[in-house]
Amino acid sequence: MLQLILELFTSERIAEDILANPITELIFVILFMTFFLTLVIHLSLFTKLNKIRHYLVTTNQMSIEPLNTIKAQYDRSMQEESIKPETFVQEKFSAWRIFNIPVVNLIKMVQMTVSVFILIGVLGTFIGLTVSLGSINTTGGQLVENVTAVLSGIDVAFYTSIAGMGLSLIMTVLIKVFNTEYMLTDIMLKVESHLEGNQQDGISQLIDVSKAINHSIQHLEETNQQSLTEIEHAFSGFQEYTSGLQQSAKDLTAFNDGLSSNLEKFQELFHHMKDVTDGFGESTSRLNNNFDSLFSYFKKMDGKNERMAKAFENTYERIKEVSEAHMDTLNHFEESVGELKSFTSSIMEEQKSIHDKFESITEKSHDLAEKMGAHNQEFKQVFGADLSAKLTGIITNLGELSKDFDKMGDSISQLPEALDVINRTQAEYKYLLSDRFDELKEFNRTFNRHLKAHSYESQAFERKIQEAAQTYEKLGKQNNELIHDINKTISQMNNTFNQRENQVEASVDVLKNTLTNYVNGLEGILGDKLDKVAGNINESVDMMNAGIKEEFQDIKRLSEDIQQSNSRYIQQMLQDLSREIQGFNRQLNRMGEQGRPNEGQAGTR
């Protein structure tokens, strides 16, 4: 089966030569099996995501798995506490599993196979070169013929690299055409917008409730005015009690005026709270935009890292050609590696400075959370002690007024109907007041939950910053491991070249002695040929050195561009974050300034 696949792209003789080595055959089996398995997983994943996206676009409903489960969990969570739809959707889609593997990890694994194919192909090439060079017979007088026979079969070793790069190219095209990552992001955004639409419906219901409270307050004022009018008509025929009833009516009118003014101030406070909530919503949207830009930056970094990996792979291919070069090439290569080490160390220093900046941002976020807690305590003081004392005084006055009316009912036995009307009016008034006070308490609890939810969002923002710092630390560790592997590979290559050089020198000595003893007459001709061969070798070495210099200059320029873009983007991101934090501080200062005048007016009353 494997030979038939290879014969589709090569000749029968080359396919037999490739499969003659069991290690090369194993590498080709791994390549093709991995490719077909990855292709099946990628297409099945794309089909499932496309089905969910098409259903969501056509019906605008979340009645398909796993969207209905996510919506049900979101509704249950919103009943317990206020949560952010974006964070909830990201958490649930990160935990969503297909083939018992998280979808996000599955997409990353499919994308990772692009590099795995190339690495496996290069590994097979190095194994083939090692086996071929190890089979050179350095003893005897036919060294040149042995080297020529081995070099003629080395081309078979490069077919694994060709196969790996071809499969990698095919997989890259399939990933770009059937873009599962884009489709998953689109589904997440549509689900998030759907959940945010439901949340906006809840806010509109809260506004309707506030309007109903305002309408009830106006109805209460009209009822109080009608009650006063009825009391005045009931006591108009009794002159001896007119003075006392008029004084009671005046006190009740003053009480109603004070209550109406307090209710108007509460209404103004509701409007201020609505403005503050809108401001928090705008700030949250700005933070979401900043996080989107941060995620796009991470994607750009992944692309640049892939380009660097491809550049290193091209460098390894050039190093394979330098395997027949002179010792001068190795010295120049070591100098270039020294420059690469210094460049990587400078990258590590820049990443350390970025980590310090993120720690300072975390400290500022802690300070912001503490300030919000202090403002929350001030709001509790404003709506807690003074308001409860006023309510207690109002209830006490109502109790005293009820006692006065009871005494008046005992003394005025001729007016049972009028007193009955007064008692009913008073009971209705007390019932309406108790409802208003319950609604005010419920508003206080709702506002407290809103502040707690904002505190949780700040903590989530801090956790994301910590995750970004950990990501940069992991990137630094990977760079260190890469440098260590490069050094190890270079040392192994040096040892191998030294051994080959010693063997070649010994063979050359034997060859010189043999030629001196037996072929003195051909010394001039062989000298000319050797000079030509040496000239050709020097020319090839010079060409290889020039190519390697150009490759390392390209790598250096690419690294400098990456470093400059990283510094510019991080500086811009820090400026955006500082502006957002300053906006939060200004909003909190305005809230504190509005709370202090209200507290002063409540104290004067």
How many domains, the chain? Answer: 1
Tell me how crowded residue 306 is: count the other CB atoms within 10 A of its CB: 14
Q: Band of the pLDDT at 572, cuts 50, 70, 90?
A: confident
Q: What single-letter DSSP state applies at residue 96?
A: -
Residues 576 and 287: beta-carbon distance below 8 Å: no
Q: Is 120 within 8 Å of 27 (Cβ atoms)?
A: yes
The one-letter amino acid at 274: K
Q: Write the pLDDT tens digit of every residue in 538-551.
A: 676 577 667 666 76
For residue 202, the model assigns a pLDDT of 47
Is 287 within the bounds of a domain? no
The DSSP bridge partners found for residue 98 are 101
Residue 330 domain flag: no
- Residue 170 belongs to some domain of the structure: yes
Q: Which tokens belong to 317? A: 């291919």
Beta bridge partners of 102: 97
Percent of the chain with pLDDT over 70: 37
**Residue 296 or 467, more confident:** 467
544-576 burial, b if ≥16 CB within 10 A, otherwise e?
Answer: bbeebeebbeebeeebeebeeebeebbeebeeb
Residue 430 within a domain: no
Average pLDDT, whole number, for the chain?
67
Is residue 391 pLDDT above 60, yes or no?
no
Whether residue 30 is contained in a domain is answered as yes
| Rounded distance between C-alpha atoms, residue 86 and residue 289, angstroms | 12
Containing structural domain, residue 60: 1-215
At which residue do the structure tokens 């007119």 appear?
A: 242
- Confirm whether 107 is domain-assigned: yes
Is residue 299 packed enough to be buried (19+ CB in 10 Å), middle (13-18) or exposed (0-12)? exposed
In a domain, 482, yes or no: no
- Mean pLDDT on 264-270: 63
In the chain, the N- to C-terminal Cα span, in Å, equals 95
Residue with tokens 């970025």: 354
- Asked if residues 306 and 172 have their Cβ atoms less than 8 Å apart, the reply is no
Question: Is residue 343 a part of any domain in this protein?
Answer: no
Distance CA 323, CA 544 (A): 11
101 beta partners: 98
pLDDT digits 0-9 by tens, 57-73: 888 777 777 777 777 77
pLDDT at 426: 62
